A and B are shown apart, each in its own frame.
Chain A
Amino acid sequence: MSAVVTPVAQLTGDGTGTRSPAPRRRSRLGALRHVVLVPLALASLFPILLIVSTALRPARSVTVDPFGFFDAVSVENIATAWTTGRFGEYVGNSFALTVPATLLVLLVSVLAGYAFARLPFPGRGALFGMIVIGLLVPFFTYMIPLYFQLKGMGLLDTYLGAVLLLATGVLPFGVFFMRAFFTDLPSELEQSARVDGCSEWQIFWRVMLPLVLPGVGTLAVFAALQTWNNFLIPLLFLPGGSFRPLTTGLYLFVGGRTIDVGPLAAGTLITILPIVVLFIVLQRQVVSGFLSGAVKG
């Protein structure tokens, strides 16, 4: 386990790479690189632009000519998806699931991460192993028994059950991530606070926690993204349809009837828009979260 994790530490900083120390190359070669990179970047973005374009075209022209690309703009599809397609409701549900699950991940991970890093107690190593092994086990290995377990516990198809599961899904990463941050803090800080008469809790709360807030921010972004995108947990464990978030809403919209491409595109756009905006605004946090989460794959 720890060996998988080690190289992540090598990926220092946020991995943004813009201030790379790499040598400036000759300009001829430099221009040539862009000739390769630009088409590939456009190809990479094309499917996402296709979602935006299709969602914003008038419903009729989507049916008549599937190959129009940003040729006309209308909010018709978005309006249909929002009301008839119930995507307005799904957006609310996605937020209602994402926000508490993310807060729960932050709270539980910060507490456990600190204890695993700085408070020795018997059985600490084994317990840490038990939590982070979850990083290596794919969800579907245990999703089948989990379904029957939730049914027995009365948590199947409940809001509480879904939030707890979504939070637990990100927890192995959260604990692993916060522990790394707390481990990196110098122990002199802790000792001098103790000499000053701080209790163990005060050392954590007043001295150490403020120093890892950037890490907490990164974890918040990562946990929110993972929760927002989660598909299997709401699909399997919220089968009744109340609290249905965007991902499963989208899936059932496809399966439902003859597909109306326009509103479907609009629903897809509504689903990905918060992610795209979040990524563009908070690129560093997003990328560094994923880099430290590399173990998760």
Chain B
Amino acid sequence: MTTTASAWARGPRITRRAQARLGVLMVAPAAVLVVLFFVFPMLNAVYFSVVAFDGLTPNPPFVGLDNFARLFADPAVANGLGHNLLWVLIGTVSPIVLGFVLALLSWSVGRVGVLYRIAFFLPHLIPGVAIAIVWGWIYDPLSGWLNQLLRTVGLESLATGWLGDPRVALFAVLATAIWAHYGFVYVIFLAALRNVDVELLDAARIDGANAGQRAWFIVLPQILPVFLMVTTITLVGGFSVFDIVFVMTGGGPAGATDVLGTLAYTNAFELANVGYGTAIALSITVLSIPFVIVLNRVQRRMLEGQS
């Protein structure tokens, strides 16, 4: 370290220059990795979506927006998009309701709260493949626990091959996804509840508000920004769902669980329609953007209102 005097002598402009130089150097590794493995493939994705690329032929022919036009006429895409919308709806509402109710219930349980957090959050940490395997056992038509449970309680008529029956397969996969991820919503709400004004709650109780009224009128408005954030995450997740469907059913039986993500994968890697598959994948991202923007706007307004 040099003396105090020399530091003063250097003056702020030299400091600024030294900061800028060091800053660029320190950011460089991250920038290189992101440009190479994110920005570049994203630009390539745009290029792929306007050519008819089969994955092998170099210099594929330019087809303009044909891949996107084809999307609108493709019944498989309509089918997949319908499943995505269902996923967005059910996959957003159920984890939020479950997570919120559970967070309220376990809000002030003291030490055992740790145990509840382990139980509810652990599924969120398990890799999708492991989730698919164990739920495959639960849903198995013959040796599955779910059918066994139904037989035990006398609802044998409802027993089916959950992942093989086109009428229920999508809901079976969706239920698994909800099991896997509501714990994430739960810990977010639990953290948000710590900022709730307790005095208001006490006042409401004295005024005779019941638990439901207190949750709806006192707690909910105070954590609304967090509520919107969670909604944004689950909505976008509903559009971009891929892993869990891919490992559980691969989109089958006969497209019954296909979503846009699995269609993109199948087209690109199994049907050699790389251009078309990429166009589907890009469309998913584009579809979810308006939701993100609208929800962010509302959320920002609320945060401003609060402060």
Contacts and interface: CB of A to CB of B under 8 A. Distances in A.
Interface of A: 3-4, 6-8, 10-13, 15-18, 20-25, 29-30, 33-34, 36-37, 40-42, 44-45, 47-48, 50-51, 54, 66-67, 107-109, 111-112, 114-116, 118-122, 124, 127, 130-131, 134, 136-138, 140-146, 148-149, 164-165, 167-168, 171-172, 175, 194-202, 204, 225, 228-229, 231-232, 246-248, 250-251, 254, 261, 264-265, 268, 271-272, 275-276, 279-280, 283, 286-287, 290-291, 294-295, 297
Given A137-B42, A140-B242, 7 more contacts: A4-B292, A6-B303, A116-B27, A279-B122, A291-B191, A297-B234, A297-B237
Q: Which 3 A-B pairs have the closest CB atoms?
A: A15-B191, A119-B23, A145-B44
Contact of B123 (A10, A48, A172): A48
B94 interface: no
Contacts of A23: 108, 198, 201-202, 205
Contacts of B282: 141
Interface stretch (B32-40, B67-75, B79-87, B161-169): B32-40
Contacts of A44: 119-120, 122-123, 179, 183
A148 B55 contact: yes
B284 A138 contact: yes
Contacts, number: 344
A144 B45 contact: yes
B275 to A, nearest CB: 9
B102 A119 contact: no
Contacts of B127: 228-229, 231, 246-247, 250, 271-272, 275
A119 B187 CA distance: 34
Contacts of B113: 17-18, 20
A232 B135 CA distance: 20
Given A4-B292, A144-B278, A197-B2, A10 B192 contact: yes
B243 A231 contact: yes
Chain B at the A interface: SS class: helix
Contact of A145 (B48, B118, B120, B296): B48
Given A115-B23, A142-B44, A195 B7 contact: yes
B254 interface: no
Nearest to B128: A231
Contacts of B125: 225, 229, 275-276, 279, 286
B52 to A, nearest CB: 14
Contacts of A229: 125-128
A112 B30 contact: yes
Interface string B151-185: 00000000000000000000000000001000110
A271 B131 CA distance: 11
Given A45-B122, A111-B26, A198-B1, A142 B198 contact: no
Q: Which bucket holds chain B's interface residue count? A: 35 or more
Chain A at the B interface: SS class: helix
A6 B18 CA distance: 31
A54 B4 CA distance: 68
Nearest to A1: B296
Contact of A146 (B34, B41, B229): B41
A149 B43 CA distance: 11
Contact of B108 (A22, A108, A111, A248): A22
A149 B198 contact: no
Given A144-B268, A175-B30, A271-B130, A136 B292 contact: yes
B105 A36 contact: yes
B7 A136 contact: no
7 contacts: A7-B303, A12-B194, A40-B102, A48-B122, A144-B48, A268-B134, A294-B188
Contacts of A264: 133
Contacts of B128: 229, 231, 247
A143 B42 CA distance: 9
A100 to B, nearest CB: 14
A4 B232 contact: yes
B111 interface: yes
Nearest to B31: A127
B297 to A, nearest CB: 8
B138 interface: yes
A7 B226 contact: yes
